[in-house]
Every structure is written in structure tokens, then in C-alpha cells.
Amino acid sequence: MPNKTILSIVTFLVVLLLLSIFFNEKNMVFNQVYMNQFYKDILSDQKIEKFDDYFTKDCTIQINGKNFTADQFKQRMKWLKENTGMIRVQVINFFASKDDTQITDTHISHVIDKQGIERKVFVLQQSKIENNKIKQLIDASYVMEGDKDTTI
């Protein structure tokens, strides 16, 4: 009998968790599903034509203290496409403000460059949102494994 009770409690908790996830993600423009697609388009696939779908025209991007305009970052995406064989992003944590004006995430970028050198990069990313697009992105990266060259 105690097994049925435990099973019922666990089932109830799982349903409650799934409902809370569904309603939280449904009400947020920026959720983890959205960010996974963002990282796929911008980092993994380097789809420069998708840049304006995610960023404002006057956005500012800072990576490890280096500032980029929209055009400069598009050039970086082009450079990444030419110099990496694979980038896969694994989102670890994701947080969005209730009004969708700020997002923060931690993720790990698994990178293999064209020479076959592998890197695992831990990233803390924070963004300010305006009109459902990223206006300011700040990225602090640390190479956890592999070549410590942070150009990639």
C-alpha cells in the first residue's frame, strides 16, 4: 500500500512540475526553447541572415571585454563559419525577468576548429531586451578544456 501512495505523490508532483513549466514558458517570449534555437542559428550554424531576427539594429555585444557592433559581430560569425568545424551549445541554466527585459544563461560551447582542436568553453551570458530583440549582450567565457585560445 505505501508503494501506491508514493507513486501517487510522485505522479502528482511530476504533473504539477510539467504544468508549471508549460505555463511559465507559454507566457514568456524568451524561454529556454527560444534560446536553444538562438544558439543554433547564431553560434552552431552561423546563419548571418538570422542575425536581425534576434538583435536590434543598434545592439551592442561584448565578449570577454571586447565590444562589437552588429556589423562587427556579423563579421565574427562569418569568421567562425570559416574557422570552426562544429559548435554545439549546451544550455545549463536559463533565467528571464518576468517582463522579458533581461535574460541570463550559463551554457557550455563544445567547439572543434578546422584543425580538429577541441575546446569546451563555459559561458555566462546576460542580455537586455528591447522590442523582443537583444539590445545588449554581455558574454564572459572561460575555456574549461582544450586549447586556451579564446578567439573561437
Query: Which uninterrupted H or E stretch holds 140?
Result: strand 133-146
Higher pLDDT, 33 or 56: 56
- Confidence band of 16 (pLDDT split at 50, 70, 90): very low
Average pLDDT, stretch 114-143? 92
Q: Which pLDDT does position 138 carry in this prediction?
A: 94
Q: By CB neighbour count within 10 A (0-12 exposed, 13-18 middle, 19+ buried), where does 2 fall?
A: exposed
Which residue from 100, 96, 111 is spatially nearest to 143, judged by alpha carbons? 111
